[in-house]
Amino acid sequence: MSNESNTPTNFIRQIIEKELAEGQTKIVHTRFPPEPNGYLHIGHAKSICLNFGLAEDYNGVCNLRFDDTNPHKEDQEYIDAIQEDVRWLGFDWDDRLFYSSDYFPKLYEFAVELIKAGKAYVCDLSAEEVREYRGSLTEKGKDSPHRNRSVEENLELFEGMKEGMFEDGSRTLRAKIDMGSPNINMRDPALYRIRHGVVHHQTGDAWCIYPMYDFTHPISDALEGINYSLCTLEFEDHRPFYDWIIDNISVSCHPRQIEFSRLNLEYTVVSKRKLTQLVDEKVVNGWDDPRMPTLAGLRRRGVSPASIKEFSRRIGVTKVDGTIEMGALESCIREDLDRSAQRRMAVLNPLKVVITNYPEEQLEAISAPNHPKNESMGARPINFGRELYIDRDDFRESANKKFKRLVLDKEVRLRNSYVIRCDEVIKDEAGEIIELRCSYDPETLGANPEGRKVKGVIHWVSAKEGVKAELRLYDRLFNHPTPDADKEKHFLEHVNEASLTVIENAVVEPLVATEEAGKSFQFEREGYYCVDKDSTVGKPVFNRVVTLRDSWAKIENSN
């Protein structure tokens, strides 16, 4: 039961390996406990890879458990999406799918146990009054006037809460710990609140009281036999209450809570509240918008599970909060796609070229490698004919020696094909270039021309067989590296207006136009793209996954 992966060690692995070696731990049992109130994002991916990865590496098990204690914000849509995301990353929970709501009857029993032990009481203070009584970081709290109710009265009132006798917000069940504790989380925290008129996605209307997260989580861990309860650093101050709950109820398992730093990523936000706001205010086109940091958005954009796993491996697990450069994620995506993505050609801004010395009706099948670095991927046929398209940016009527593309009266090589020479430029009445008349050298297919050197290579697509396509060029959603850390501006003011550019008249190779959604390619010299779910047979749609190089590096270095 040892770590046989190539994952770098970290403090959590060191704890596990020490306890395995000393016999304190027999089996590594972790859990991933998402709240079904939104879609998972890149930060959750780190937790998924950590919890499921540790279980795999040490021959243990990992549960998937939905923390569904707040039905007001939860939905079956999110439950389904979360399961899809975890599976997409390559992990499975086998028969260990649980809901915190599975334990509602047991949680109620444990609450009664705490009341009977004089360690919980029903409080009539309003939420505002509770905050007032709680005190501050520099001032101790003061006892609720209801703190010393008798056990019998508390049991009766708690039963009344369960039976729906009281209004929302009128009463809570609170733990009786220490209102003078330096840790505010230990100042008689709430255990249960009243919620009428909410239909729970698992339990329906069976309950009108719902347990708080900090009460539910340690008990759920204990009931499932979890021994490593891994969570992010914001829960470090909650750990004493986690332990207090386990120590004061009748359970045999005492899970160990261990905190690690959460994933903060530049040029994005990972707060569920803010992600929900982006969706609700239609700043983006849904949870799976390819600009979103959600796993659904990354998947639709064309990011692979392998690149996300590699990203999680590289950033590691520490106890120090920080912000990861977006370039680190994009680098993992590029490296993965450079290895796996077949090459195709696409012209984003088409300019027609007529090869005047090529037969009008002739089409010539030319073999082009699917991947220049991997012969095992084979080759594909592309048809060369009299008429084709090149990109407008690849032509100038005149240019200096630094311009390595097509210039009037000069030559360039077409990718995987012949050398052509531009002989004439055709313009419309407004002076706009609408066509180039060129000639080709029939001796240059796979061979250099004799007596002259051609430096430039440009891509192209057959005008006769090329397919019109829509290309969606996605970029970073925000133009500020930490949009939600700016105290002077609302995070929405940092939305990058150029985060999506749509090109409707691109032309692509016919072979790529019929691929299924999710398939990724490198459009040579343009970037990595994948087929979007909006694609149809007559109108393929491609999403730019990532550029060939980090176009933000120069901008960031100049600031």
Q: Are residues 114 and 239 in the same domain?
A: yes
pLDDT at 140: 96
Whether residue 6 lies inside any domain: the answer is: no
| 370 within 8 A of 378, measured Cβ to Cβ | yes
H or E element at residue 328: helix 326-340
Domain that holds residue 367: 346-459
> What contacts 343, CB < 8 A, 6 or more positions away?
368, 369, 370, 371, 372, 521, 522, 524
Does residue 210 share a domain with residue 115?
A: yes
Percent of the chain with pLDDT strictly greater than 70: 97
Any domain includes 5:
no
Whether residue 272 lies in the annotated active site: yes
Phi, psi of 193 (to 5 degrees): -130, 160
Q: Is there a single domain that holds both residue 352 and residue 335?
A: no
pLDDT digits (tens, 9 = 90+) for 376-422: 999 999 999 999 999 999 999 999 989 999 999 999 999 999 999 99
Q: Which of 224, 221, 193, 190 is nearest to 207 (CA)?
A: 193
DSSP 548: S
CA gap 235, 239 in Å, rounded:
7
User: Looking at 35, 84, 153, 435, which residue is catalytic?
Assistant: 35
Residue 472 reports pLDDT greater than 50: yes
- Do residues 150 and 233 share a domain? yes
Quick check: 230 pLDDT over 60? yes
Quote the pLDDT of residue 163. 97
Give the side-chain half-sphere CA count within 13 A for 375.
0
In this structure, the answer to whether residues 421 and 496 fall within a common structural domain is no
Residues 46-86: pLDDT tens digits? 999 999 999 999 999 999 999 999 999 999 999 999 999 99
Q: Which sign, positive or negative, has the C-alpha torsion 69, 70, 75, 81? A: negative
The predicted structure's pLDDT at residue 553:
60
Residue 231 pLDDT: 96
Beta-bridge partners for 353: 388, 436
- Say which of 73, 142, 147, 262 is annotated catalytic: 262
Where does a domain end: 425, 459, 493? 459
205 and 172 together in one domain: yes
- Percent of the chain scored above 90 by pLDDT? 94
Which of 272, 300, 334, 544 is labelled catalytic? 272
With bands split at pLDDT 50, 70 and 90, how would you rate the model's confidence at 6?
A: low
Last residue of a domain, one of 459, 483, 502: 459
Long-range contacts of 11-18 (CB under 8 A, 24+ apart): 11/317, 11/318, 11/319, 12/50, 12/54, 12/228, 12/230, 12/258, 12/260, 12/317, 13/54, 15/258, 16/54, 16/58, 16/228
Are 64 and 137 contained in the same domain? yes
Q: Is residue 1 part of a domain?
A: no
In a domain, 265, yes or no: no
DSSP notation for 435-498: EEEEEEETT-TTSPPTT-----EE--EETTT-EEEEEEEE--SBSSSSTTS-SSS-GGGGB-TT
Q: Tell me the mean pLDDT in the region 493-520.
A: 96
Q: What is the pLDDT of residue 552?
A: 67
Residue 5 pLDDT grade (very low, low, confident, very high; cuts 50, 70, 90): low
CB hemisphere CA count around 133 (13 angstroms) = 19
Do 235 and 229 contact (CB within 8 A), yes or no? no
Check pLDDT > 50 for residue 450: yes
Structural domain includes residue 444: yes
Instruction: Give the residue, 455 or 552, on which the prediction is more confident.
Output: 455
Classify residue 1 as exposed, middle or buried by CB count within 10 Å of its CB (0-12, 13-18, 19+): middle
For the ranges 30-34, 163-167, 554-558, which has the lowest average pLDDT? Answer: 554-558
Is a pLDDT exceeding 70 seen at residue 555?
Answer: no
State the SS3 of 250-296: CCCCCCEEEEECCCEECCCCCCHHHHHHHHHCCCCCCCCCCCCCEHH
Give pLDDT tens digits for 167-186.
999 999 999 999 999 999 99
What CA–CA distances, in Å, run from 403 to 73, 398, 524?
Answer: 57, 9, 18
How far is 469 from 115, CA to CA, in rounded Å? 67
Identify whether 4 is part of a domain: no
- Residue 517 pLDDT level (bands cut at 50, 70, 90): very high
C-alpha–C-alpha distance, residues 47 and 32, integer Å: 7
517 inside domain = yes
Q: Which of 459, 489, 518 represents a domain boundary (last residue)?
A: 459
Residue 165 is predicted with a pLDDT of 98
Residue 134 · residue 187 · CB < 8 Å: yes
Output the pLDDT for position 1.
Answer: 45
Q: What single string gives the DSSP state of each residue in 300-317? A: HHT--HHHHHHHHHHH--
Alpha carbon 78 to its chain centroid, in Å, reads 14
The H-assigned helical ranges of 97-140 are 104-116, 127-134
Half-sphere exposure at residue 211, Cβ-oriented, CA atoms within 13 angstroms = 25
Interatomic CA distance for residues 466 and 477, integer angstroms: 32
Report which DSSP code applies to 7: P
Position 266 in a domain: no
Beta carbons within 10 angstroms of residue 112's beta carbon: 17
Look at residue 121 and tell me whether its pLDDT is greater than 60. yes
- Quote the DSSP letter at residue 27: S
The answer, yes or no, to whether residue 358 has pLDDT greater than 60, is yes
User: Are residue 84 and residue 203 in the same domain, yes or no?
Assistant: yes
User: CATH number for the domain including 378?
Assistant: 2.40.240.10
What single-letter DSSP state applies at residue 157? H
Per-residue model confidence (pLDDT) at position 8: 79
pLDDT at 322: 87
DSSP string, 222-254: HHHT-SEEEEEGGGGGGHHHHHHHHHTSS-S--
Based on the fold, state whether residues 149 and 35 are members of the same structural domain: yes
Q: Are residues 309 and 416 in the same domain?
A: no
Examine the domain organization and report whether 481 and 519 are in the same domain: yes
Give the C-alpha separation, 157 to 126, whole Å.
16
Q: Is the pLDDT of residue 2 over 80?
A: no
What's the confidence (pLDDT) of residue 250? 97
What is the rounded average pLDDT of the residues 204-226? Answer: 98
Contact 232, 260 (CB under 8 A): yes
As for how many domains the chain has, the answer is 3
**Helices and strands (DSSP H and E) totals, the chain:** 13, 29
Instruction: Report yes or no: 67 and 35 within 8 Å, Cβ to Cβ.
Output: yes
Among candidate residues 246, 207, 214, the one with its CA nearest the CA of residue 231: 214
Indicate which CATH number applies to the domain containing 44. Answer: 3.40.50.620
Give the global pTM: 0.93
- Shared domain for 497 and 390, answered yes or no, is no
Radius of gyration of the chain (CA): 31
